[in-house]
Copies of this chain bind each other. A is one copy, B any other.
């Protein structure tokens, strides 16, 4: 047996979900060696596979670098070792060798048991408290918190490729394209939303102001009214322009129903902001009947949670906007808990923020007219994302129309 080597094992859909490919890739990219000791490929498509490999490095350090990478793909050491913990030396300061999380379901080997890590998100650390493990952002770490360090004793369950049924995630899973039949995709997306809701799944919309500018605000308001959206994550601009449209009929000073520029329309979004300040808040504006239609109105009326996160480019911002971004992140996370589907429409900023908070098994539908934006948002290593390069002003109304048909 080679000197700097370790035997590892891995199980799951090794071939179908690319697990073995990624492990081989990793070892080769790092200049290591591997030997396949045992391999059992599931005979039928639903069977799991199992493999044992011997990984070999040039020296101990090299070996460990390779192992870190291999463990990331779901492999574990054959002889399982206890997870390593180190206390945080100060508030917000974690040990140098901290384990940085992925968005996959993760377990740690703690006192001889595999323990689930709760609240999985990407790029965080794991804090262990009385036999519980929790994925924790650096800003929430307190002095003395026990932090997982190194890669030993950590196990990842890589996401399975979806295979059942013929939903939009199956036929487009992990891909995007502007050369696809738009009307059909809209129909498929509607069906998935419908099914998700029927099963009681929570659907969160992450949206930007282009929803209003391109004339899709009425459609989104309808989706909320019909119960197909259960929470809204956005920024100041979506709310401002929705209220501008609902109260003055314009968006960015343009009349949405005929596309003409309103006189003095450049000041309409400022007037909308002023009207919310005058009422005190969006909720108060609805209660006093000064706001009686639109996306924000429906949110208030249906009593669904919405979080408006502040950003440096905000006009105003509205009194309802959470201007501290760390607080806004916490609110986003609360709303995203147990979400089954997230629809991201025309906002890169809030979509990236949301993407970073989501475990890999949440379904994501991304709609944007700019292909580079869609490509960037897709890049999270999940099979559960669909990218639609289309015009929200045309696509969302199509989806809404289909949902109305299904809802009858």
Q: Interface on A for B, CB 8 Å cutoff? A: 15-16, 18, 20-21, 24-25, 27-30, 33-36, 39, 41-45, 51, 65-66, 68-69, 89-90, 92-94, 96, 98, 100, 123, 125, 138-139, 163, 166, 171-172, 178-186, 188, 210, 213-216, 235, 251-252, 254, 256-261, 263-264, 266-267, 269-271, 273-274, 277-278, 309-317, 319, 323-329, 332, 349-350, 352-353, 356, 369-372, 375, 389-391, 393-395, 397-398
| A-B pairs with lowest CB-CB distance, top 8 | A182-B393, A181-B215, A394-B394, A100-B267, A313-B353, A310-B325, A390-B391, A312-B353
Q: Knowing A15-B21, A16-B24, A369-B391 are in contact, say whether A93-B274 is a contact too (CB < 8 A).
A: yes
Contacts of A353 in B (CB 8 A): 311-313
Pick from B29, B183, B319: contact of A394, CB below 8 A: B183
Pick from B24, B28, B44, B179: contact of A210, CB below 8 A: B179
Please name 19 pairs of A and B residues whose Cβ atoms are closer than 8 Å in the assembled complex, sorted by A. A15-B24, A33-B44, A34-B45, A96-B271, A138-B273, A139-B317, A166-B258, A171-B261, A180-B213, A181-B213, A181-B251, A182-B215, A182-B394, A312-B353, A314-B325, A371-B372, A372-B372, A390-B394, A394-B398
Chain B, Cβ-Cβ closest to A92: B277
Contact at B33–A42, with CB atoms within 8 Å? no
Q: Knowing A65-B264, A69-B264, A389-B369 are in contact, say whether A316-B138 is a contact too (CB < 8 A).
A: yes
Q: Beyond the given A179-B214, A183-B397, A371-B375, could you list 4 further A-B residue pairs with CB under 8 A, ordered by the A residue number?
A: A16-B25, A100-B267, A182-B215, A311-B353
Among A254, A258, A274, A356, find the residue whose CB has the most chain B CB atoms closer than 10 A.
A274
Docked pose: A204 CA to B329 CA in angstroms: 29
A251 nearest CB across to chain B (Å) = 8
Contact at A96–B41, with CB atoms within 8 Å? no
Among A216, A257, A324, find the residue whose CB has the most chain B CB atoms closer than 10 A.
A324
Contact at B323–A256, with CB atoms within 8 Å? no
Contacts of A44 in B (CB 8 A): 33-35
Contact at A350–B180, with CB atoms within 8 Å? no
Among A42, A180, A329, A352, find the residue whose CB has the most chain B CB atoms closer than 10 A.
A180
Docked pose: A184 CA to B216 CA in angstroms: 11
Contacts of A277 in B (CB 8 A): 90, 92-93, 138
Contacts of A326 in B (CB 8 A): 310, 317, 323
Docked pose: A242 CA to B36 CA in angstroms: 41
Chain B, Cβ-Cβ closest to A217: B181
Contacts of A391 in B (CB 8 A): 178, 182, 369, 389-391, 394-395
Chain B, Cβ-Cβ closest to A179: B213
Contact at B180–A214, with CB atoms within 8 Å? yes
Contact at A28–B16, with CB atoms within 8 Å? yes
A187 nearest CB across to chain B (Å) = 9
Contacts of A325 in B (CB 8 A): 310-312, 314, 317, 323-325
Contacts of A65 in B (CB 8 A): 263-264
Docked pose: A267 CA to B101 CA in angstroms: 8
Docked pose: A52 CA to B41 CA in angstroms: 11
Contact at A183–B398, with CB atoms within 8 Å? no
Q: Knowing A16-B28, A42-B36, A184-B257 are in contact, say whether A98-B356 is a contact too (CB < 8 A).
A: no
Contact at B96–A274, with CB atoms within 8 Å? yes
Docked pose: A51 CA to B90 CA in angstroms: 55
Contact at A181–B21, with CB atoms within 8 Å? no
Contacts of A166 in B (CB 8 A): 258, 260
Contacts of A123 in B (CB 8 A): 266-267, 269-270, 315
Contacts of A264 in B (CB 8 A): 65, 68-69, 100
Contacts of A263 in B (CB 8 A): 30, 65-66, 68-69
